[in-house]
Amino acid sequence: MIAGLDAGFASAEKDGLPPAGLCISLLRTQSAEEAIELVTSLTALRHPRVTALSIDGNETAAGRTGPRFAEAFRRAGVAGLKRTVHAGESSDASGVWDAVSASWCRPH
């Protein structure tokens, strides 16, 4: 899928459109092991179009996911990927506070 998206973006860039990077998302329903497996695959692939890792999904249903994804986010940062978290869409302000205050989301 990444190769297909890359080809489309490369074609658009040749037509004068701005460059684009891909932010690959973990789902809040994934396990810590699945998150680490995804990051391991992305870092082994080292595709130049993949620039970031994110966490998405229903915060209210999944609860706090920072501790679960801390190691995956650490590895992504070491590999040079930017990191972000979608927060607040399905929770109150506490979900946003969790995202911006979590040490696992800060640069290391």
Q: Is the pLDDT confidence value at 7 over 60?
A: yes
pLDDT, mean of residues 14-32: 94
Is residue 94 situated within a structural domain?
Answer: yes
Number of domains in the chain: 1
Average pLDDT over all residues of the chain: 87
Is residue 25 situated within a structural domain?
Answer: yes
Tell me how far CA of residue 79 lies from CA of 8, 41, 61, 92, in angstroms: 25, 11, 30, 32
Is residue 48 situated within a structural domain?
Answer: yes
Q: Higher model confidence: residue 86 or residue 46?
A: 46
pTM, two decimal places: 0.82
Is residue 12 situated within a structural domain?
Answer: no
Q: Is the pLDDT confidence value at 61 over 90?
A: no
Q: Is the pLDDT confidence value at 67 over 60?
A: yes
Is residue 42 situated within a structural domain?
Answer: yes
Q: What range defines the domain where residue 90 resides?
A: 21-105
Is residue 74 situated within a structural domain?
Answer: yes
Is residue 90 situated within a structural domain?
Answer: yes
Is residue 10 situated within a structural domain?
Answer: no
Predicted confidence band at 54 (pLDDT cuts at 50, 70, 90)? very high
Contact partners, residue 70, CB within 8 Å, separation at least 6 = 103, 104
